[in-house]
Amino acid sequence: MKLPILLLALLWQPSLHAVSVTIGTGGEQGIYYQVIKEFCRLAHKSDPTVQCKPQASSGSIENLRLLQAGEIPYALVQSDWLYQASQGTGPFARQPQPELRTLFATHAEPFTIVVRADGDITTLEQLKLAPIDMGLKNSGTRQTALALFSVLGAKEQDLDLKSVANLSEALCSKQIDAYGLVMGHPNRIVLETSKRCAIRFMSVEGAIREQLLQGVKYYQRSQIPARIYPGNLKATPTFAIAATLVTNAITPDKDVYRLTKAMLSQQTSFNEQTYGYANLFHKARNKTGPVLSVTQHPGAARYFEELKAAGKL
């Protein structure tokens, strides 16, 4: 009788209880979904009692609203939307979310302007007069593009903004001269474009980039990595937002600590075929600190404090 009683006691230990976690991402074909799916695989590999899965959504804004409504416990969101939600600005002016807390930043999402390699566009100023696609109105890409064009002295109504169904086809057939994306690399859309026609990237650097970053917590210096796309042998300087895993302040510290530790302790095994891998924050010190645009959750902070104490941060 002793053996069954011992087994029963072990099963009742809280540390062995399985935990099922849903994380809001983006479309099933998108980078956010892929990145979280991979982090969940690593979490389960590290701690088999942690069951975590991505939940498809329309993106950061929907994820933030689902978090506020208590429909999901965690989400991956852009750092700029995250900051605005926490401060109650922009689309969140009527429903601020000061209760938002971060776990860690997963990867950088460089603002990427794609042009034809044989096209006439060679400067950012030329984009103000060219037919371009900078994302849907009110999208994260459009917001980021308008921030850049504001530094260049142009307003939304001054630009020849298009909304095309297929960015790759539109660029290569000369319907547009450029398109913009806020996304990690490698990127499926850019890869498809590079197969249709030769492409290059517009750099955002120097005084323009510094003015854009001045006093803004959610932008950082970044680059489009070299040798991912045909013909682009050098990295292209630009700026980026950070994809950030978030939750609410009411989420128990022990749950956040457990998920953070499970996700990050196996990251050396991250699948390099995952979209966005080239901009992944591989080192623990790059996942925390200034890259986070809102306060870190105490549960996540505990894990990074342990890394620091062990000399691993």
Which superfamily does 110-241 belong to?
Periplasmic binding protein-like II (3.40.190.10)
Q: Bridge-partner residues for 304, per DSSP?
A: none
Per-residue pLDDT at 13 = 47
Which superfamily does 20-108+242-310 belong to?
Periplasmic binding protein-like II (3.40.190.10)
- Same fold? 20-108+242-310, 110-241: yes
Record the pTM.
0.87
Q: Are 72 and 23 in contact (CB under 8 A)?
A: yes
**For range 94-121, the mean pLDDT:** 97
Name which residue leads in pLDDT, 86 or 11: 86
Per-residue pLDDT at 12 = 45
- The 3-class secondary structure across the chain, one letter per residue, is CHHHHHHHHHHCCHHHCCEEEEEECCCCCCHHHHHHHHHHHHHHHHCCCEEEEEECCCCHHHHHHHHHHCCCCEEEEEHHHHHHHHHCCHHHCCCCCCCEEEEEEEEEEEEEEEEECCCCCCCCHHHHHCEEECCCCCCHHHHHHHHHHHHCCCCHHHCEECCCCCHHHHHHCCCCCEEEEECCCCCHHHHHHHHHCCEEECCCCHHHHHHHHCCCCCCEEEEECCCCCCCCCCCEEEEEEEEEEEEECCCCHHHHHHHHHHHHCCHHHCCCCCCCHHHECCCHHHCCHHHCCCCECHHHHHHHHHHHHCCCC
| Residues 6+ away with beta carbon under 8 Å from 149 | 127, 128, 155, 156, 158, 159
Percent of the chain surpassing pLDDT 90? 83
**For range 81-97, the mean pLDDT:** 94
Domain ranges of the chain: 20-108+242-310, 110-241
Per-residue pLDDT at 226 = 96
The 10s digit of each residue's pLDDT in 244-287 is 999 999 999 999 999 999 999 988 899 999 989 999 999 999 99
The 10s digit of each residue's pLDDT in 185-196 is 999 999 999 999
pLDDT band at 138 (very low <50, low <70, confident <90, very high): confident
Whether residue 18 has pLDDT greater than 90 = no
